[in-house]
Every structure is written in C-alpha cells, then in structure tokens.
C-alpha cells in the first residue's frame, strides 16, 4: 500500500507542471519517481497498479476544473462534479497503467530499457486516450513543456504525443543521474537540452507585410448570465460596444462560441442587427446554434456552428462542430440516463449532431480560416483539412464554466496546435482567455480571464507546413518505434 500511495502522490505532483502553475520541473521529478516505482514493482500486477494510481493522481488534480461545470447545472448537486472528476480519473488512469505494465513486462531488469520502453508506451497510450471512445485528449503530458524555451518547437517535427515521451525520458534521465549513472543519464538528457537551443521560436513574417486586420471581442459574459433571457439584450450590447465602429481598414470581427442565442439561418432580423455593426468591407465570424428540423416541422437536433455574417446581412460559409463533448453537447444513452434524472451540463433539451470534420472557410480578403470550436482544438493531428490548408485557425470557445484551471490549460493546448500545424491560432472566448497565438506557439496578445475587452491586431503569418502538418501522428509513432529499437539494442548489449 505504501508504494501505491507514493504513486498517487507522484501523479498529483506531475499535474503541477500543467497550466496555470507551469511547475514543469516537478513533472519531470514525478516521472523520475514513476520510473523508480515501476522498476521496483515485484510483479506485472503491481506495476499496473502503480501506473494506475499515478494516473489517478494526475487526472484528479489536472482535471479539477470539470467540477466547476457542475455548479452551473441546476438539476445536479454541485458535489457531483467532484464525483465526476474522480470517476473520469479512474477510467483515464487505465492508459498510464498500460504504459507502466508494458515497460515493466519487457525491461528485463534494466533501468535504461525500462525508461525507453516507458517513453514509447506513453506515446502510444496517450494517443489511444485521445482517440478511443471519441477520445479525451486533455492535458497530454507534453503540454508541460509549453513555456520552456525551444523544447515545444519539437512538436512541429514529432507532435505533441512525442513531447510526452520526452517528458518520460527527462524523468528517466533524472533517475539515472540520481543513481550516479552519469553516462546513460547524460546521453538521454543531452538531446532534450540541445532542443532547447535548436528549436527556439524562429520568428514569423516581417513588420512591413500587409496583413488582414482582426478585432477579437471578449465581452466577459459569465455562464450564469449567458443563457438567461433577461440578460439577452445586455449581452448583445456588450458585444456590440466592444466591436467598435467601422473604420477605413476592413476588419474581420471575431466573436466567441455561442455568442448569439438567435437562430441565424431562420431569423433575418437577427442577421440584419449583426450586419449593422459592420463596415462595407468588414466580416463577422461568430458562434451560434443551427437547428435541424424533422419532417413534422419541429426541431429535433442542432449543430454547434460558426457563422459568417456579411455586411449586407447574408450568411456566408458555416462550420459545424465535429468533435462533440459527451454530457456537455449530447447525452449518451439518453433514454436510460434521462430516466434516472441525468441531463446535459449545457442547457437545452436537443442533442447536438457532429459535423463532417475539419473544413477551411474562404473569407475573401481575410484569407482562409480553419475552424475548431472550443474542445476540438485539443486533438493533435485532427484540426486542419490537410487537402485545403488554411491561413490560420479560428478557435471560438466558451471557457466560462471551466473554472480557474481550465482556460489556461485550453490556451496551452492551442499553442501546441499552432506549433504542430505552423499556423497562427486566434481564440475568442466570452470570459477569457482570448488570444492571438503565432505559428511558432508564442502568445502575441491576450485578454486575461474575467476581463472585458478587445484585441486589435494584424493576422500573424503562417509558416511553411512543418513535417507534422504534412504527416501527422505517424511521426510520433515513428519516434516510439525508434525508442523501442533503442531499448532492444541496449538490452542485447548489456545482456
């Protein structure tokens, strides 16, 4: 039991490297402890248990913001939020347990082999976590590197899941150095340290280049008021005031997810009211709900959509969110769960339908926009239509119910998508953190959590497609195979 308790503590410590704390050295130390714990396991069952408890600790602390979402659902008691966090952590911990078990099973008593195999298995199992059963890719371990000079740049070549493998390797190097195994520890640590110099942000574009002008609006509308009809007019006034007056320079106005409660496809008056905020050459992108009607004329489902509003009030291209949040945007097994009183966390009786996937919207003079609504931005390798590469990614979101930890974690993951795809990411949220992220992952401008305001900025430049943008997560798998090959070679040499 002592070792299981230590595993839980190590997992809790590992989550301190995520936003908003960014204590990434503690994450590395936690993985050094995990290496020691798995190596000392007397059986496969024990190794699995230690990996599982490590995962429970990491997910309970790292996903604590999920509990906040339940405080906005009147049909459920607030304490149920923490039950949901723990239950989710118990499931997600299966993946670290699998990584620990695979590494223990094949390490043959050699710590270096264990480290290499644990890193390889971590890459694969994190990918599985982000893929199986619709996937839940929040807080991949590699996101702890965000903010560390140079290292996140490796995501452009290997992807986020490979960065997670590097965290494991760094922890393994610390465990070797702590055991005075200087040479193997240095051999593992040296490439990671070198990347901090080799992959420093290169800078994008020149100051004299003509670029489309953006205005990103953050109205600071809390979740408690967002869907209340009594605040509908006040919410619109906030958005309209922060949008500013049209000027000589054409502007692309960007509003958050679900910015309007109106059904724009069937309410021309609502479209005209929005168009009145635009100059003759402006364009507005905003989130809303698209209803789906049955043969009887009644609405039976909906899409979480992003609309394009033109100055004449006409709708342009629309994007429908594809990667939906279970329990947030639809209720799985609705007949059963609704019968026992469970409902969606978001208001409304209609379930959302998933759209067809990444799509590029042609915005004319403002370029080509890939759109990822809220949660969709966390899925590495799934955010861009590779056959129709955009100039930037627009990520409207509603982080108002994500507590204090969710919004900065969301921003950190969006930064990794920018690096992987070599594209700027523009975020608009109702309460923060709205931001302009350069294609090298650097946050150029942002609005703090709980702040009302607007960002006026030229659109940052895109980079030439890096290797990950062309090949995707096959590169992370290739890196995992390289680690396995290295483990086999080390095992044979030391046998």
Tell me the catalytic residues: 257, 321, 374
Instruction: Using only the alpha carbons of the chain, give its radius of gyration.
Output: 23
Distance CA 362, CA 359 (A): 10
Q: What is the DSSP string of 346-360?
A: SS-SSPBPP-SS--E
Is the distance from CB of 153 to CB of 142 less than 8 angstroms?
no
Sorted by sequence, the CB contacts under 8 Å of residue 45 that are 6+ apart come out as: none
Greatest Cα pair distance, the chain, in angstroms, is 77
How far is 129 from 132, CA to CA, in rounded Å? Answer: 6
In whole angstroms, what is the distance from residue 49 CA to residue 85 CA?
19
C-alpha–C-alpha distance, residues 90 and 186, integer Å: 35
- Which residues contact residue 229 at a Cβ distance below 8 angstroms, ignoring those fewer than 6 apart? 261
Pair 487, 113: CB distance under 8 Å: yes
Length of the chain equals 495
The conformation of residue 441, written as its DSSP 8-state character, comes to S
For residue 148, give every residue at least 6 positions away whose Cβ sits within 8 Å of its Cβ, in sequence order, or none. Answer: 24, 196
The phi and psi torsions of 335 (rounded to 5 degrees) equal -55, -35
Q: At how many degrees (to 10) do helices 111-129 and 182-198 cross?
A: 40
CA distances from 93 to 115, 284, 380 (A): 19, 42, 20
């Amino acid at each position: 039991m002592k070792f299981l308790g230590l595993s839980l503590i190590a997992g809790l410590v590992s989550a301190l490297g995520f936003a908003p704390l960014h204590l990434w050295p503690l994450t590395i130390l936690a993985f050094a402890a995990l290496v020691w714990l798995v190596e000392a396991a007397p059986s496969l069952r024990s190794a699995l248990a230690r990996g599982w408890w490590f995962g429970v600790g990491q997910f309970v602390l790292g996903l604590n913001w999920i509990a906040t979402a339940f405080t906005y659902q009147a049909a459920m008691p607030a304490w149920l939020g923490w039950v949901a966090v723990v239950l989710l952590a118990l499931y997600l911990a299966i993946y670290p347990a699998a990584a620990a078990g695979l590494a223990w099973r094949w390490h043959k008593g050699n710590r270096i082999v264990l480290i290499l195999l644990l890193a390889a298995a971590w890459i694969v199992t994190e990918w599985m976590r982000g893929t199986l059963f619709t996937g839940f890719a929040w807080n991949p371990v590699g996101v702890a590197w965000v903010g560390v000079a140079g290292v996140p740049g490796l995501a452009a070549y290997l992807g986020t899941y490979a960065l997670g493998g590097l965290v494991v390797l760094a922890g393994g190097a610390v465990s070797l150095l702590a055991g005075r195994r200087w040479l193997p520890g240095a051999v593992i640590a040296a490439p990671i340290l070198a990347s901090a110099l080799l992959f420093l942000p290169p800078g994008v574009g020149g100051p004299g280049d003509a670029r489309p002008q953006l205005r990103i609006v953050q109205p600071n509308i809390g979740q408690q008021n967002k869907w209340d009809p009594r605040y509908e007019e006040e919410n619109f006034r906030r958005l309209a005031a922060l949008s500013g007056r049209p000027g000589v320079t054409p502007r692309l106005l960007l509003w958050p997810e679900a910015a309007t409660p109106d059904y724009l496809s069937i309410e021309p008056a609502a479209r005209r009211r929005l168009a009145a905020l635009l100059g003759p050459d402006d364009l507005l992108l905003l989130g809303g709900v698209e209803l789906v009607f049955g043969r009887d004329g009644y609405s039976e489902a909906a899409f979480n959509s992003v609309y394009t509003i033109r100055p004449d009030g006409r709708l342009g291209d629309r994007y429908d969110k594809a990667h939906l949040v279970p329990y947030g945007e639809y209720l799985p097994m609705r007949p059963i769960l609704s019968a026992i009183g469970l409902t969606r966390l978001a208001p409304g009786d209609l379930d959302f339908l998933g759209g067809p996937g990444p799509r590029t919207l042609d915005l004319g003079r403002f370029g080509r926009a890939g759109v990822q609504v809220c949660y969709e931005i966390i899925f590495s390798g799934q955010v861009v239509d590779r056959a129709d590469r955009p100039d930037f990614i627009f990520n409207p979101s509603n982080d108002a119910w994500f507590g204090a930890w969710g919004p900065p974690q969301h921003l950190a993951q969006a930064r990794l998508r920018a690096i992987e795809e070599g594209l700027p990411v523009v975020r608009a949220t109702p309460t923060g953190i709205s931001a302009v992220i350069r294609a090298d992952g650097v946050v150029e401008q942002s609005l703090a959590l709980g702040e009302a305001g607007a960002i006026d900025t030229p659109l940052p430049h895109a980079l030439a497609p890096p290797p990950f943008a062309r090949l995707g997560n096959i590169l992370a798998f290739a890196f995992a195979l390289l680690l396995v090959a290295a483990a086999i070679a080390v095992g044979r040499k030391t046998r």
